[in-house]
Structures are given as C-alpha cells and as structure tokens.
Amino acid sequence: MVAFAYGSVSPATAQDSADKDKVVAKVGGLPITGRDLEFAATELSEQFAKVPEEMRKAAVLNALIDIKSLARQADAAKLGEDDEFKARMAFLRDQALHNFFFQQRVLDTVSEEEVKARYDKEVAATEPEPEIRARHILLKTEEEAKAVIAELDQGADFAELAKEKSTGPSGKEGGDLGFFDKGRMVPEFEQAAFALEKGAYTKEPVKTQFGWHVIMKEDERLSQPPAFEQVKDQVRQVVLRESYAKLLEDARKEVEVEIVDEELKAQLEKAGVR
C-alpha cells in the first residue's frame, strides 16, 4: 500500500518510491512501472508460485505484457463500453476500496498490545476445568484384563505391564495418555478414570468400543490456559473480526439502505440480517 507522510522523507523511502515509479517496460507506448509490476506479482502470486524466484519478476512482467496487449485490443474494440464490463469494474472498484479501507483502519491498527489484552481478558473470564493424567492397559478380553488387575494387586508396575501387554498405541509409552479433560474420552472410560483417587487403578475391567481397559489415575490438576504465543494468531483473528464488524456497523449507520426487491428483503429478514 502507499504510505503518505508529511515532512522529511528518509533515503530508504525515497529510493522505494523511485523504484516503484521507474518504468520497466512499455506496451503500445504506455509505461509499465515498478508499482504495476509489484501489484501484478501480488495478484498473480499463485500462478507463479512454482517459478524460480530469480525468474519470477520476469515471468510476471511477461504476463503483464500479455494482459496489456490484449486489453489494448479490447479497448480498441470498445469492449470497455459494454454494460457487463462496466458493472464488473464498478464492483472491483468498490471491492478494492473496501479492502484498502479495511487494511488502513483495521489490519494496520491492531497492535500486539491489543491482542495481548484480549488474550488476558479471555483467560480471566475462563473457569479452569479439572484435568487428569491417566495410564491404561487395553486388552482384548475381560479375562485378560482381570489377570492384569491381579498382577497389579501383587505389586506389578503399571507402566511395565502396559508396555508388555497393552494392545493400544500408548502401550509403548507405558499406557500414558497425558492430561485430558472431560469430553475427550469415550463416556465409559471417562467416568471410570475421573472417579478414581490419585494413584489408584480400576479394580474391575472397563468395557468400551475399543476393548477392555485397566485404568490408573496418575495425577490431577486444573486446566491451564494455552500460552499467549501458542494462540496469538487465533486471538488476533478474533480482534480483527470484531474490529471489522464494528467498522461495518458504523459505516451502515451513515448510509441509508433500501432493499427494493421484496423477495430478497424477505430472505434477509428471515436470515436475521438488517
């Protein structure tokens, strides 16, 4: 985007401006500037994503020459006077202005401090949930599960038995499932695991769709919020959406909107859009 500033201009800024205004080619005597090339590179980025970086600028320029050459012929054929073309150009203009305004008033104004403040607000408003850390040994039959419980009753190590006997993917980790909250496991497993005392294991096998389980509750705690760095991008998106919604709300307050088509008006009202 173009940055407007008053007063002195730094050498770097002046150089950037000069590069953008530099004529890199001409089509039918009309100039293609560095700014034109930069804009085309952005708009055509997906098309030239696989082109080697050192060749990309030249490839974009070649595409831009093709576009301008055909556009010149279309202009000579007076296609620019076509009503459909005019309607499309009007929409593209409005869309570009919308995007540019959003860039200036929202994207460029949301700061790291604002995002962090929103994160802190969400963390403060979120009640911690109980979590437990459990191990389990998954077996094919109830008899096998009862035999494992008998070994545990004799003092066998739970993790070692899991490594030796569990058919589940966590067996190689000693049956460790890490910390989880309610709603993460199937109901039968969850109910049995959360009912245990810390350090205790189920005295009866637990049946689920996966087989027969012997479960041990290893630890318990209240849930911890994710670190800011982990969710910073998601929180930023929330702030951006809310800022955009406010921008639209304010804009609509300043303009009179009349839905003339009764069918469309009814559909909007049904959808709760005003």
Between helices 11-21 and 34-43, what is the axis angle to 10°?
Answer: 80
Which pair of structure tokens corresponds to residue 48? 């030239």
Find out whether 163 and 174 touch, Cβ atoms under 8 Å: yes
State the span(s) of the chain assigned CATH 3.10.50.40. 130-222
In the numeric block, which tokens belong to residue 117? 């403040």
Cβ contact 137:162 at 8 Å: yes
Question: What pTM does this model have?
Answer: 0.61
Question: For the chain, which residues score pLDDT lower than 50?
Answer: 1-12
Quote the pLDDT of residue 1.
24
Give pLDDT, residue 187. Answer: 97
CA–CA separation, 225 and 95 (whole Å): 39
The pLDDT assigned to 9 comes to 35
Beta strands in the chain (DSSP E): 23-27, 30-33, 130-139, 176-181, 206-208, 211-222
130-222, what's its fold?
Chitinase A; domain 3 (3.10.50)
Cα separation of 160 and 171, whole Å? Answer: 9
Asked if 206 contacts 195 with a C-beta cutoff of 8 angstroms, the reply is no
Q: In the 8-state DSSP scheme, what is residue 201?
A: B
pLDDT number for residue 14: 52
Give residue 257's pLDDT: 87
Question: Residue type at 30?
Answer: L
Q: What angle do CA 217, 174, 172 make, to 5 degrees?
A: 145
Buried b (16+ CB within 10 A) or exposed e, 131-150: bbbbbbbbbeeeebbeebbe
| For the chain, counts of helices (H) and of strands (E) | 10, 6
Distance CA(274)–CA(269), nearest Å, equals: 7
CB distance 214 to 149 below 8 Å: yes
CA–CA dist 265, 274 (Å, integer): 9
Per DSSP, helices labelled H in 82-182 are: 83-102, 112-125, 142-153, 158-165
Which pair of structure tokens corresponds to residue 265?
A: 């008006």
pLDDT at 112: 95
One-letter amino acid for residue 54 of the chain: E
Give the list of residues 6+ apart from residue 203 with CB closer than 8 angstroms, or none. Answer: 149
From the list 207, 136, 135, 139, the residue with the least C-alpha distance to 167 is: 139
The token pair at 268 is 């909007």
